[in-house]
């Protein structure tokens, strides 16, 4: 089975590393592409190869919500599953993210198992 | 600052710090009695500062020494630290998670504010200037593990004008 090509968008390099480690820990073979904010992610997003996007919300340059909207506006990228992984945990923020096109939402702190469940859910949908 | 709001923020910070350290750093921490202090010098080597805007204006500050920061980030990654940049970045992410989780708890109590991305300061004793808060008091919560103080979490804030 081919490795999952995941675009990981977070301004923290430790968090990007932790996400990759967590995915491997729960059994996913991953081929990560790392981006430090929304602008960087749009440059690195190849619709032909990326299977999944995991994005933070609060980032400099372009935040996660603006990035998600751009991905959904583009006909080539609009169907790529997106999980938002963020410290923003209120119901209002959750609804705002879903309305912007996020498929699912995880709040930090998180466990690898929680990430696995969400990932299986969104990948099953796509 | 409104006493009830102040106590709610302090309690939310204590809960969130405990949860973040337990879930991500695999460490059981205990808060000590909060105290007020004047001056805004960084208490330890690596400090993360997150600004608050909205119904509360100010900053939340998390400060720890390099030795403990290396241990905390290494625990979080389950791996050796590869660079000093990782240590500073990791403390920033810990600050971000603690403040973000407290923000969520407070939003459920109808106290809503926005948070900035963390600004990192390296150097014990560096001064943080927050001109709109001159004269406000700074409340410090020390946290302990294994009988030692391992980091400080601080609230420097006032109600929105």
The ipTM estimated for the assembled molecules is 0.90
- Positive or negative, the CA dihedral B110, B111, B112, B118 is negative
Instruction: Place A89 in a pLDDT band, splitting at 50, 70 and 90.
Output: confident
For chain B, the structural domain boundaries read: 3-159
Is residue B83 within 8 angstroms of chain A, CB to CB? no
Is the separation of the CB atoms in A116 and A24 below 8 Å?
no
The token duo for A21 is 């480690």
Q: How many Å lie between the alpha carbon of B151 and the closest alpha carbon of chain A?
A: 18
Contact criterion met (CB < 8 Å) for A87 and B86 = no
Distance CA B118, CA B96 (A): 6
Q: What is the pTM of this model?
A: 0.93
* CATH (residue range A4-125): 3.40.50.2300
How many residues in chain A? 126
User: Quick check: B4 pLDDT over 90?
Assistant: no
CB contact at 8 A, A103 and A120: no
Mean pLDDT of A56-79: 96
Burial label for A92, CB within 10 Å (0-12, 13-18, 19+), is exposed
**pLDDT tens column, B79-128:** 889 899 999 999 999 999 999 999 999 998 888 889 999 999 999 988 88
To which H or E segment does residue B141 belong? strand B138-145
- Comparing A6 with B159, the larger pLDDT belongs to A6
pLDDT of residue A31: 96
d(CA A31, CA A50): 9
If DSSP states are collapsed to H, E and C, what string results for B1-55? Answer: CCHHHHHHHHHHHHHHHHHHHHHHCCCCCEECCCEEECCCECCCCEEEEEEEEEC
- Select the residue of A14, A58, A89 nearest B76 (Cβ to Cβ): A14
Domain boundaries, chain A: 4-125
**Distance from A39 to chain B by nearest Cα, in Å?**
16
Q: Which fold has domain B3-159?
A: Chemotaxis protein chec (3.40.1550)
Task: Write the residue in B76, B108, B117 that is nearest to A58 by C-beta.
Answer: B117
Residues of A in contact with B108 (CB under 8 A): 90
pLDDT at B13 over 60: yes
B102 CB neighbours in chain A (<8 A) are none
- What pLDDT digit, counting tens, does each position of A50-67 carry? 999 999 999 999 999 999
DSSP string for B51-82: EEEESEEEEEEEEE-HHHHHHHHHHHHTS---
Distance to chain B for A7, nearest Cα, Å:
19
């Amino acid at each position: 089975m081919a490795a999952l090509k995941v675009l990981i968008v977070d301004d923290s390099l430790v968090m990007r590393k932790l996400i990759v480690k967590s995915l491997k820990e729960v059994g996913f073979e991953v081929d990560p592409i790392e981006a430090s904010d929304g602008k960087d992610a749009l440059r690195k997003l190849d619709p032909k190869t990326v299977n999944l996007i995991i994005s933070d919300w609060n980032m400099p340059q372009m935040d996660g919500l603006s990035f998600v909207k751009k991905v959904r506006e583009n006909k080539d990228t609009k169907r790529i599953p997106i999980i938002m992984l963020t410290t923003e945990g209120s119901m209002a923020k959750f609804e705002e993210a879903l309305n912007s096109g996020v498929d699912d939402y995880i709040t930090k702190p998180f466990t690898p198992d929680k990430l696995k469940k969400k990932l299986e859910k969104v990948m099953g949908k796509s | 600052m409104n006493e009830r709001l102040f106590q709610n923020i302090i309690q939310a910070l204590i809960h969130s710090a405990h949860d973040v350290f337990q879930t991500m750093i695999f460490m059981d921490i205990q808060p000590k009695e909060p105290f007020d202090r004047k001056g805004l010098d960084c208490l330890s080597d690596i400090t993360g500062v997150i600004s608050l805007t909205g119904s509360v204006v100010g900053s939340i500050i998390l400060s720890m020494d390099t030795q403990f920061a290396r241990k905390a980030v290494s625990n979080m990654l389950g791996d050796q630290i590869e660079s000093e940049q990782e240590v500073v970045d990791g403390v920033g992410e810990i600050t971000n998670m603690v403040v973000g989780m407290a923000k969520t708890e407070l939003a459920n109590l109808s106290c809503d504010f926005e948070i900035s991305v963390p600004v990192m300061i390296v150097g014990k004793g560096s001064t943080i200037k927050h001109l709109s808060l001159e004269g406000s008091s700074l409340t410090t919560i020390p946290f302990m593990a294994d009988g030692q103080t391992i980091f400080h979490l601080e609230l420097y804030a006032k109600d929105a004008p």
